[in-house]
């Protein structure tokens, strides 16, 4: 499965290069009009319009706010189910990252995919959900994904209004007969605020966990996992989380001081039990 996924990524690169080849002679000022209207330009901290309504894979119309429970962060993917290449790669990359997490969907987060194509139906959403969630390697993960990964389509242009709020710019390419768009996962707090965007076609489990811890606002993860977040910061140039040396030094200093205090406390208690007075400070 992994080799097939890598092959699909290579194929996607080949397709993209082939699409860009006719424009290679153009200067930066002569970028084709369709590409000038496509991109991802998010503003962190943006509050999503949770009153927007969508139809899920079962045909049920629900407000976006019903996917935010105030306790679990949400991973959000904008795609479309009839996409011939890129969207499938994004969804499979998300699945690969999640299946390597120590958290299953529903444990500390949920995931929502929303179609950007206003013509797509809940039937298509159900078919895409089935193909993606059944690709998880274990029955436990398949069941968790089936219960906590929702696939939606828009209602009366709600998909476009949501994309606008996220800074996700996409356009219909008449010549190519498909939607032109970027690739990313949006990470949202449990109340619907945008906290991080992971770009590209690779979402390592560690980056997903750190982004979810960040979005969880202290409500998810163990103490050790929260300390791990303290030592990392997001590097927008590298599009990944990296160790921040100053924080690591600070944490190491704090641990050293704590260890010294605990050692002194243990010595003091032993002396007290033996009936000896604590030595006075110089």
What is the domain partition of the chain in residue ranges?
2-200
Q: Say yes or no: domain 2-200 is CATH 3.90.1150.10.
A: no
Percent of the chain with pLDDT over 70: 65
For the stretch 200-214, pLDDT in tens is: 999 999 899 989 988
Contacts of 256 (CB under 8 A, 6+ apart): none
For the stretch 88-127, pLDDT in tens is: 999 999 999 999 998 999 989 999 999 999 999 999 999 9
Note the pLDDT of residue 167: 97
Note the pLDDT of residue 41: 94
The neighbouring-strand residues paired with 172 are: 179
Task: Check pLDDT > 70 for residue 158.
Answer: yes
Lowest mean pLDDT among 1-5, 175-179, 185-189, 273-277: 1-5
Note the pLDDT of residue 261: 56
Q: Which residue from 207, 190, 176, 199 is spatially nearest to 85, judged by alpha carbons?
A: 176
Please give the backbone phi and psi of residue 242, each rounded to the nearest 5 degrees, phi first: -130, 155
d(CA 182, CA 3): 24
Note the pLDDT of residue 120: 98
Q: What is the mean pLDDT of the chain?
A: 80
Lowest mean pLDDT among 8-22, 28-42, 46-60: 8-22
SS3 letters across 19-73: HHHHHCCCCHHHCCHHHHCCEECCCCCCECCCCCEEEECCCCEEEHHHHCCCCCC
Note the pLDDT of residue 199: 93
Mean of the pLDDT values across residues 22-42?
64
d(CA 86, CA 105): 23
Note the pLDDT of residue 175: 87
d(CA 228, CA 78): 29
DSSP conformation class of 247: H
Note the pLDDT of residue 37: 78
Lowest mean pLDDT among 42-51, 88-97, 233-242: 233-242
Note the pLDDT of residue 25: 41
pTM of the model: 0.72
Q: How confident is the model at residue 32 (pLDDT cuts 50, 70, 90)?
A: low
* Planar angle of CA 39, 40, 46, nearest 5 degrees: 150
Note the pLDDT of residue 251: 41
Note the pLDDT of residue 131: 97
Contacts of 125 (CB under 8 A, 6+ apart): 55, 56, 57, 81, 115, 151, 152, 153
């Amino acid at each position: 499965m992994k080799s097939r996924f890598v092959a699909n990524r290579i194929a996607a690169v080949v397709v993209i290069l082939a699409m860009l080849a006719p424009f290679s002679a153009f200067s930066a000022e002569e970028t084709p009009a369709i590409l000038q209207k496509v991109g991802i330009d998010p503003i962190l901290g943006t509050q999503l319009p949770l009153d927007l309504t969508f139809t899920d894979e079962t045909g049920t119309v629900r407000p976006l706010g019903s996917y935010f429970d105030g306790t679990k962060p949400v991973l959000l993917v904008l795609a479309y189910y009839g996409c011939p290449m890129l969207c499938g790669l994004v969804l499979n990359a998300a699945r690969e990252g999640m299946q390597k997490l120590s958290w299953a969907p529903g444990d500390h987060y949920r995931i929502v995919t929303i179609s950007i194509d206003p013509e797509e139906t809940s039937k298509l959403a159900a078919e895409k959900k089935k193909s993606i969630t059944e690709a998880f390697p274990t029955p436990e993960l398949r069941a968790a994904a089936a219960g906590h990964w929702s696939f939606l389509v828009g209602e009366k242009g709600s998909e476009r209004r949501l994309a606008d709020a996220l800074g996700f710019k996409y356009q219909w390419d008449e010549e190519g007969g498909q939607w032109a768009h970027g690739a990313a996962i949006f990470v949202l707090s449990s109340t619907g605020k945008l906290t991080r965007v992971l770009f590209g076609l690779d979402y390592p489990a560690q980056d997903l966990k750190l982004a979810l811890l960040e979005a969880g606002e202290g409500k998810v993860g163990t103490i050790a996992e929260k300390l791990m977040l303290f030592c990392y910061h997001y590097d927008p140039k590298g599009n990944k989380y990296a160790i921040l040396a100053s924080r690591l030094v600070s944490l190491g200093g704090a641990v050293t001081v704590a260890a010294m205090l605990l050692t002194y406390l243990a010595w003091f208690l032993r002396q007290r039990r033996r009936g000896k007075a604590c030595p006075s400070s110089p």
